[in-house]
Structure 1
Amino acid sequence: MAGFSPEWLALREPADHAARNPQLLAAVGAFFAAKPSLSVLDLGCGAGANLRGSYAVLPERQHWTLVDHDADLLAVARERLVGWADEAREQGEELVLAKDGKTITVDTRQVDLDKDLDWVLGWRPDLVTAAALFDLTSKRWIERFVAALASQKLPLYTVLTYDGRENWKPAHRSDARMLAAFKHHQHLDKGFGPAAGPEACDIMAEAFRKSGFAVSTADSAWLLDEGHRDLRDALARGITDAVRETGQVEPAAIAAWLEARQAAASARIGHQDLWARPV
């Protein structure tokens, strides 16, 4: 699976938290409101941003298992969670955090989600969650994942799955060509087979519905204005790097698009959140 730098994850985290759909998050919280404690499995956890974005609506006692293929990112996650918490201490291999009146224990595991998915889901958490993950996985992997959750009646809350919508302002003559080439790149193998890319959320929702789950989806687009210039710049550079790899747009057009995007007034980048639960 392709990796992401701690710097990129830190840059995007405020935009991710702002974009997360509040109604869907509240629905997840309401579903677990009667439980005094909750065990959560966070897939592809990166630097731990999903925990920081979700914890507030969940029960007072939470146990999170953070899973990622990248051992360095797991170390960064632990470090950032310690800095974020009101109080933190180590208890064996676990972190015990206090935050806003909640007690959160955290365990980190280095796992290959392509090879070890069934083993990980065998831990039987109360909730499976992920952020900005499933557009990297393949249709076949998603269907296998949903089947595994359905067999154990495990709910899933996932946020910020890229859905292919982009609206940069002002418009540029190469926007359509750049987006088409970028979407082509999004379908390349990211470690799970040919990636589902922008279709991932729809594929997952359909698979859950066929399995008899109740499914809710909601918009969680990034709204990037002048206050997000560094993120917009990094995003534009990442898009141009991906487009160059496809060879579908000539270098001069890529360079002109990048220059225009670095001076853009705003950008709306489409994402979807999904909440699926057994009925």
Structure 2
Amino acid sequence: MSTAGQVRYAAEWLELREPADARARSGELLAPLTAHLAQAPSATGRTVVHDLGCGTGSMGRWLAARLPGPQHWVLHDRDPELLRLAAAGMPDTAADGSPVTVRTRQGDITQLRAADLDGASLVTASALLDLLTADEVDAFATACVRARCPALLALSVVGRVGLDPADPLDTELTAVFNAHQRRVHGNRRLLGPDAADAAARVFRRRGAQVWSRPSPWRLGAGQEALLRRWLTEWVAAAIEQQPELGPRADAYLRRRLRSCAAGRLRAVVHHGDLLALPAEPGGTPV
């Protein structure tokens, strides 16, 4: 169980990044998704969406208002307080004014199986894949395909960062941060920046049609708070992975934060979005 302090920290971070997430998610994937949902209507007459690792509900707030028709969202997270916040913040209506209803399900999303998705029209997740292992991604994709349920998976880190102006330490810190994202956590080796490509391969191997699109954060003027927070945690993760970097990385962070405060720093933090649809005769993935 998370502590109250951890939940407040997570909720504050998720709130801070939500506008950048909303701008970054790929709207191009909505056309094939909505076309598929229209061709495969739910038996209940409403689109049933399972949002995995929902946090405070950012994905639901972004997507529910962009999908037409009645919707029922099932919000999954292990933390009851985040689930409460997510449910309270969901929109009441869809793109065409149809009703949106919500329920929550507390549990470990790494244990998801096809039976858990019975009746689901769509599975969504945001900033989740890179926190999973290869086996967990395989099991997740297999569950979706067996349930014949589409998956829209947004904002997976892909291991690339662009900073302007450049600094001699940028490349080294990026490499060390990526190693941290691939770290062994407990007995689990996380996929980190390899996750989006790994998921695409697994879905294709299971017969799904897969679309991939970039979804970068573009941070600069007007996003200084997020830029400072991201930069500070990015450097901290690199130091955690390689402590001997500490003195150089601390000096780097001070330089970067001064540049940010002066309005001179720009960052592009690359992510990827993925849409996997159940294969249909004659379908051609892009």
TM-score (norm: length of structure 1):
0.88
Are 1:103 and 2:103 an aligned pair?
no
Deviation string 1:21-67 (CA, Å, 9 cap, x unpaired) is 11112321232235452000000000000011111332320000000
Residue number in structure 2 paired with 1:235? 230
Residue number in structure 2 paired with 1:256? 251
Residue number in structure 2 paired with 1:166? 161
- CA gap 1:37/1:257 in 2 versus in 1, 3 angstroms: same
Contact 1:32–1:58 (8 Å) recurs in 2: no
Contact 2:68–2:94 (8 Å) recurs in 1: no
- CA gap 1:33/1:190 in 2 versus in 1, 3 angstroms: farther
Q: Aligned partners of 2:244, 2:174: CA distance in 1, in Å?
A: 10
Residue number in structure 1 paired with 2:183? 188
Q: Aligned partners of 2:185, 2:128: CA distance in 1, in Å?
A: 11
Equivalent in 66, 71, 93 of residue 57 of structure 1: 66
How far is the alpha carbon of 1:246 from its aligned partner? 1.3
Q: Aligned partners of 1:161, 1:191: CA distance in 2, in Å?
A: 21
> What percent of counterpart residues are identical?
35
Q: Aligned partners of 1:202, 1:179: CA distance in 2, in Å?
A: 19
Contact 1:136–1:190 (8 Å) recurs in 2: no
How far is the alpha carbon of 1:99 from its aligned partner? 5.5
What amino acid is the match of 2:143?
A
What secondary structure, in the 3-state scheme, does the structure 2 residue paired with 1:153 have? coil
Residue number in structure 2 paired with 1:18? 23
Residue number in structure 1 paired with 2:273? 273
Q: Aligned partners of 2:244, 2:201: CA distance in 1, in Å?
A: 33
Contact 1:138–1:192 (8 Å) recurs in 2: no
Are 1:70 and 2:76 an aligned pair?
no
How far is the alpha carbon of 1:243 from its aligned partner? 1.4
Deviation string 1:78-97 (CA, Å, 9 cap, x unpaired) is 2333xxx4xxxxxxxxxxx2
Q: Aligned partners of 1:247, 1:120: CA distance in 2, in Å?
A: 42
What secondary structure, in the 3-state scheme, does the structure 1 residue paired with 2:271 have? strand
Are 1:246 and 2:245 an aligned pair?
no
What amino acid is the match of 1:77?
A
TM-score (norm: length of structure 2):
0.86
Are 1:121 and 2:111 an aligned pair?
no
Residue number in structure 2 paired with 1:5? 10
What amino acid is the match of 1:214?
Q
How far is the alpha carbon of 1:191 from its aligned partner? 6.8
Structure 2: any 5+ residue segments left out of the alignment?
Answer: 280-286
Q: Aligned partners of 1:13, 1:219: CA distance in 2, in Å?
A: 17
Residue number in structure 1 paired with 2:282? none
Deviation string 1:204-263 (CA, Å, 9 cap, x unpaired) is 001111111110000100011111100000001111221121125422211122123322
Q: Aligned partners of 1:154, 1:122: CA distance in 2, in Å?
A: 8
What secondary structure, in the 3-state scheme, does the structure 2 residue paired with 1:159 have? strand
Root-mean-square deviation (CA), in Å? 2.1
Residue number in structure 2 paired with 1:134? 129
What secondary structure, in the 3-state scheme, does the structure 2 residue paired with 1:32 have? helix
Q: Aligned partners of 1:122, 1:40: CA distance in 2, in Å?
A: 9
Comparing 48-57 with 257-266, greater Cα deviation is found at 257-266
What secondary structure, in the 3-state scheme, does the structure 2 residue paired with 1:11 have? helix
Are 1:80 and 2:89 an aligned pair?
yes
What secondary structure, in the 3-state scheme, does the structure 2 residue paired with 1:33 have? helix
Q: Aligned partners of 1:210, 1:192: CA distance in 2, in Å?
A: 26
Contact 1:121–1:149 (8 Å) recurs in 2: no
Count of residues paired in the alignment: 264
Contact 2:69–2:94 (8 Å) recurs in 1: no
Contact 1:26–1:57 (8 Å) recurs in 2: no
Would you tell me which structure has more strand in proportion to its own residues? 1
